[in-house]
Amino acid sequence: MLFKPNPSSGVPIYLQLMEQIKHAVETGALAAGEQLPGIRKVAEDLVINPNTVAKAYRELEHEGVIELRQGAGAFVAERARGARGQQQNEARAEQLRGMLPAVRNLLAKLEALGLTEEEMRRLFEGELTRLREGAGETAVQRKKR
């Protein structure tokens, strides 16, 4: 298991960990019931404090993504409802995996243009915001009226 928090991104490490684990669960890379590496192991691998990992695990349990069993370890929740409302499991994971090629294809194009990782992120986030808001128009366009 190898997660990779980016300490310089401004996003708290424990949040990044949570996101990456959720992603692994959502795509089925981590199967339901599967055991996650121990707190100390993860902390050691990533050279971060065990408390930080513990916090991520605790939050994930609170969200129902994983189950913590004292003395036993951390496990992906059986009826992993992930970040969604109800059950999803394999069917949904399949759906998500099906989108991977499209995502990778886009990223490849962006990389071919010489975009930095930051620029890609901004591009994506920017359009995501546009989607979230009313849609049709950009924030800046709105101003120009």
Q: Residue numbers of the site for a copy of itself (CB under 8 A)?
A: 1-4, 9-12, 15, 19-20, 22-24, 26-27, 29-30, 37, 83-84, 95-96, 99-100, 102-104, 106-107, 109-111, 113, 115-129, 131-133, 138-143
Return the structure tokens found at 71.
Answer: 């003395």
Which residues in this chain contact DNA in the complex, by CB under 7 A? 10, 12-15, 36-41, 48-52, 54-55, 57-58, 61, 68-74
* 3-state secondary structure labels for all residues of the chain: CCCCCCCCCCCCHHHHHHHHHHHHHHCCCCCCCCEECCHHHHHHHHCCCHHHHHHHHHHHHHCCCEEEECCCEEEECCCCCCCCCCCCHHHHHHHHHHHHHHHHHHHHHHHHCCCCHHHHHHHHHHHHHHHHCCCCCCHHHHHCC
State the binding partner of 19 from DNA, a copy of itself, none, CB within 5 to 8 A by kind.
a copy of itself
For 10, phi then psi, to 5°, come to: 90, -20
Shortest separation between residue 33's beta carbon and a copy of itself, angstroms: 15
Question: By C-beta, is 22 or 55 nearer to DNA?
Answer: 55
Residue 66, beta-bridge partner list? 76
State the binding partner of 51 from DNA, a copy of itself, none, CB within 5 to 8 A by kind.
DNA
Question: By C-beta, is 70 or 116 nearer to a copy of itself?
Answer: 116
Question: By C-beta, is 44 or 111 nearer to DNA?
Answer: 44
Shortest separation between residue 19's beta carbon and DNA, angstroms: 12
Return the structure tokens found at 11.
Answer: 């996003």
State the binding partner of 72 from a copy of itself, DNA, none, CB within 5 to 8 A by kind.
DNA
